[in-house]
Amino acid sequence: MRVEKTIIEDCLLIHDTFFGDHRGYFFESFNRKTFFDQTGMDLNFVQDNQSRSQRGVLRGLHFQHGEHAQAKLVRVLQGKVLDVAVDLRKNSPTFGKHVAVELSEDSHTQLLVPRGFAHGFVVLSETAVFFYKCDNFYNKAEEGGIIYNDPEMAIDWQLAESEFLLSEKDTILPTLQEAKSTLKF
């Protein structure tokens, strides 16, 4: 496992050590001790989630508030996505900034999205299977979001907006400035 820092503190790229031969491949996608040794973070993942989506599906930008906030370790099992994490920690020098990274079945790379971040992705391949570990349980009453096309964040989703497939919920989310006063990070 190799850890790469991004422009935002605690938002990390995790490059898995990959072993392949004529039979196929093997890699350890998560080891709590190794993760702690490499990052100094002792995360206790309690929930795994998986989704399958077609090209253009944009999920996000989602988060959970306060004590229900979640750190996520995300990866792609099949296909390719653009994965985005937005810093919502009010006292952070990178508040409102984002990290965007392509994750694919071939990259063997994961993104650690810390607590206090909004998270979303768009599918760039024909389909994608997206997998993530969470360090806290989902709580519907504490969910929140930021609109994906907020001009202040200027996220380049790498697809034309006409290609996006969004849930109704994701089309009516507030902008970062509209949500700022309600954030509990």
Contact between 105 and 76 (Cβ < 8 Å): yes
Q: Rounded to an integer, what is the distance from CA 103 to the centroid of its chain? A: 10
User: What are the residue numbers of the active site?
Assistant: 62, 132
The values of phi and psi at residue 161, to 5°, are: -55, -30
